[in-house]
Amino acid sequence: MKTLLTAAACAALLTALPAQAADLAATAASLRDKALSDPTAWDVLESLTTEVGGRPVGSPAMARAKDWSVATFQRLGFSNVKVETFQTGAWSRGAESASVVSPYPQPLHILGLGGSSPTPAGGLEAEIVVFSTYADLLAQPPGALNGKIAVVTQKMTRTQDGSGYGAINAQRTSGPVEAAKRGAVAYLTRSLSTDDTRLPHTGGASPAGIPAAALSTVDAELLDHMAARGRPIRIRLDMASSFDPKATAWNISGEILGREKPDEVLVIGGHLDSWDPGTGAVDDGAGVAIMTGAAKVIASLPKGPRRTIRVVMFGSEEQGGSGTAYAAAHKDEIGKIVLVGESDEGAGPVWQADLPKGSAAAPEMKAFAKAVAPLKVIVTGDPSRFGGSDVGPMVRLGAPVVDLHQDASRYFDLHHSADDTLDKVDPQELAQNVAVWTAFLYTVADSDIDFRKLASEAK
């Protein structure tokens, strides 16, 4: 059962907090209020989506995004602005089309999945086999789909915490491989999405040597209706793509230097890259903007925090590689990394905070809980575990991590689709994120809290 710090309980902490923690709480509350009206995060997000747009790794747009990042950090007064280059695989989309050939000819709306193979020149045409669940596909023996196109139409459940996505993520990421094992010549899946439009949602998948694409939710249901009529259905696919196994990518960072302990560092960030259909506003321009905005608000204090806050714009989360590259480049620094954290659930408000193991009762974290109680954030007694794809490798090396969970109820209507655009971001919800992160980062950066020691004592 989760231990919750309610707003009333947080208010009661006012008199219980030691003097130093009470000072932290008061300053964190002041910064929280400032963050709610500070324009930095919105300005950063508007600039990125307007001046760069969608940013697939390996693309010219991603190179422009790198230059944009450096200029943004410099313009906002960050110190030690660095560009760290690494290589990673980069899949690129070409022309794509799909249609039902018979018995009910009409077009279908698809987006190729990252890692998909192209169709043969001139396209591919085959009969489909429709599976209403991914488990039904997995139940097929080898050879059962020889010469067929496998189609999985299982729906995703809308949830606040995004668990509906995790529950069927393998349908996209592993589906092509499983279909190929059973002899399929191509794979189609219902988009991992909660929307009801004809806009498909892309995403990465393990390479399987066959064409693989996501259907819009509407078109997946269309194929369900066709299959229910009992007649063989033939589909034509024409998909082009390319893959560069050694594309150049970049992690870009800037710092708010600590005034007393600059070598003790909080590493936070979001991922700069995005998929190509939209402009990457919610995934993950918002995360980049939130973290940049929070650090900038803290930098506005008359004197900086005691520890250094480093914001990283990770360069290849969607297709992988940036988190591993960053951890490898900074492995000798792990012992001095006080905490890592990432914002990568869109722009919905933060509603739950899972703190590093054993720290919920620490005076500094009580100060944080008090500061964010008016923002309707539940602080749990559950230890944080993941943090995000780009900080995960650092966590595995021993860095403490925080999870500030955003409301993902609408996130999967938008992510990886052409609807991932600036107009879908609510400025007030974006500002709430900045305020929560500002309060948390300040209480850690301006204190001596030792998350490793607290975790060890909690064993």
The answer, yes or no, to whether residue 121 has pLDDT greater than 90, is yes
Is 429 catalytic? The answer is no
* pLDDT on residue 248: 98
The per-residue pLDDT of the chain, averaged, comes to 95
* pLDDT on residue 14: 42
Among 201, 232, 263, the domain-final residue is 232
> How many domains, in total, are found in the chain?
2
Q: Is the residue at 130 inside a domain?
A: yes
Q: Is the residue at 301 inside a domain?
A: yes
Name the residue range of residue 225's domain.
104-232
Structure confidence at residue 15 as a pLDDT band (50, 70, 90): very low
Token pair 């695989």: residue: 89
* Strand 124-131 with 234-256, pairing: antiparallel
* pLDDT on residue 18: 78
Among 232, 254, 284, the domain-final residue is 232
Q: What is the CATH number of the domain that holds 179?
A: 3.50.30.30
According to DSSP, the residues that pair with 209 across neighbouring strands are: none
The answer, yes or no, to whether residue 117 has pLDDT greater than 80, is yes
* pLDDT on residue 459: 76
Average pLDDT score over residue span 104-129: 98
The answer, yes or no, to whether residue 4 has pLDDT greater than 80, is no
The answer, yes or no, to whether residue 286 has pLDDT greater than 80, is yes
Q: Is the residue at 286 inside a domain?
A: yes
Do residues 118 and 214 both lie within one domain? yes
Do residues 83 and 111 both lie within one domain? no
Task: Please state the three-class secondary structure of 288-320 as a single string.
Answer: HHHHHHHHHHHHCCCCCCCEEEEEEEECCCCCC
Structure confidence at residue 16 as a pLDDT band (50, 70, 90): low
Query: CA-CA distance, 430 to 440, in Å (whole number)?
Result: 16
**Residues 6+ away with beta carbon under 8 Å from 342:** 268, 269, 270, 271, 287, 387, 388, 389, 390, 391
Q: Is the residue at 240 inside a domain?
A: no
* Strand 110-112 with 212-215, pairing: antiparallel
Do residues 62 and 152 both lie within one domain? no
pLDDT tens-place string over residues 359-410: 999 999 999 999 999 999 999 989 998 999 999 999 999 999 999 999 999 9
Q: Is the residue at 318 inside a domain?
A: yes
78 three-state secondary structure? coil
Q: Is the residue at 62 inside a domain?
A: yes
Average pLDDT score over residue span 34-51: 98
Among 232, 258, 279, the domain-final residue is 232
Do residues 316 and 404 both lie within one domain? yes
The answer, yes or no, to whether residue 12 has pLDDT greater than 90, is no
Do residues 206 and 234 lie in contact, with contact meaning Cβ atoms separated by under 8 Å? no
Structure confidence at residue 344 as a pLDDT band (50, 70, 90): very high
Q: Is the residue at 94 inside a domain?
A: no
Q: Is the residue at 205 inside a domain?
A: yes
Do residues 77 and 149 both lie within one domain? no
* pLDDT on residue 9: 46
Q: How many CB atoms lie within 10 A of CB 39?
A: 11
Rounded to whole angstroms, what are the CA distances from 38 to 19, 109, 295, 448? 28, 40, 12, 27
pLDDT tens-place string over residues 170-224: 999 999 999 999 999 999 999 999 999 999 999 999 999 999 999 999 999 999 9
Query: CA-CA distance, 428 to 440, in Å (whole number)?
Result: 19
Q: What is the CATH number of the domain that holds 358?
A: 3.40.630.10
Do residues 405 and 284 both lie within one domain? yes
Average pLDDT score over residue span 134-154: 98
- Percent of the chain at pLDDT > 70 equals 96
pLDDT tens-place string over residues 372-384: 999 999 999 899 9
Do residues 158 and 256 both lie within one domain? no
Do residues 171 and 108 both lie within one domain? yes
The answer, yes or no, to whether residue 263 has pLDDT greater than 80, is yes
* pLDDT on residue 21: 84
pLDDT tens-place string over residues 325-340: 999 999 999 999 999 9
Do residues 70 and 201 both lie within one domain? no
Do residues 188 and 292 both lie within one domain? no
Do residues 208 and 260 both lie within one domain? no
pLDDT tens-place string over residues 294-323: 999 999 999 999 999 999 999 999 999 999
**Residues 6+ away with beta carbon under 8 Å from 173:** 203, 204, 205, 206
Which one is catalytic: 178, 317, 342, 364?
317
Do residues 185 and 85 both lie within one domain? no
